Amino acid sequence: MSRIFKGKKRKAKKLGITDVPAEVVTFISHATQNRLRTVIEKVTMITQHRMESHKDDEWYEQATDVRSQLKFFEQLERLEKQRKDEQEREILLKAAKSRSRQEDPEQARLKQKAKEMQQQELAQMRQRDANLTALAAIGPRKKRKLDSPGLLTTGGEVLGMSSGGQAGFGTPSSRQYARQKITRVNLRDFIFYMEQERETSHSLLLYRALLK
């Protein structure tokens, strides 16, 4: 508190204020703490609202599925690229099988490209076989055992098993372990908060955040 008081006193002297009572410093500290608590609570609420999922809610009906639409267009592009690659492959194979004695430079280029394509396909097949051999040598992955034999994992929470073999729920003798839920706030959540607040909706801090 003395360090805070000295810091406030130095700032007050720069503004021409000679006397800063300790009660004023305490009042400002409490006001700052309450303000920070309010900001954190509002930003946390915004983040939790953003992370909410309404897929299983019967009162919500999905109108569009952008992810499926993007996957559909990506599949179309992949099929179109595959069709063009097949056409180019057929042209190169025909050029490689050509037995004409007099070859023009274009024919020689196509033959060279066909040879490179065949070598590349052969290298990919060898790499695939090597990967399969390595996976077969490693063997199937073993299931990870629980850290303690008396724990039951359900939905991200670990519930202690009692001596009778039944899971304890709310009993003092049962051991309950709950995974701590972490709320990650990003810059966009904080920008949304500042846009909604009257004090910060036109502030320089908001404009600087938007430029990042």
**Predicted local distance difference test score (pLDDT) of residue 66:** 85
Amino acid letter, 103? E
Residue 16 lies in a domain: no
The sheet with strand 176-178 has its strands ordered as 151-154, 157-160, 176-178
Contact indicator for 28, 12 with CB cutoff of 8 Å: no
Average of per-residue pLDDT values in the chain? 77
Residue 23 lies in a domain: no
Q: In whole angstroms, give the CA distance from residue 92 to residue 102.
A: 18
Question: Distance of CA 205 to CAs 19, 109, 190, 197, 201, Å?
Answer: 31, 61, 11, 12, 9
**pTM for the whole structure:** 0.41
Residue 128 lies in a domain: yes
Higher-pLDDT residue of 77 and 62 is 77
3-state secondary structure of 161: strand
Name the residue range of residue 74's domain: 68-98+105-135
The residue among 188, 209, 206, 190 whose CA lies nearest residue 39 is: 190
Q: Compute the C-alpha angle 147/150/153, nearest 5°.
A: 70
Residue 183 lies in a domain: no
Amino acid letter, 41? E
pLDDT, tens only, 102-123: 667 777 777 778 778 888 888 8
Q: In whole angstroms, give the CA distance from residue 146 to residue 170.
A: 22
Q: Which residues does 187 contact at the CB level (< 8 Å), separation at least 6?
A: 209, 212
- Give 167's strand partners: 161
**Predicted local distance difference test score (pLDDT) of residue 156:** 43
Number of domain units in the chain:
1
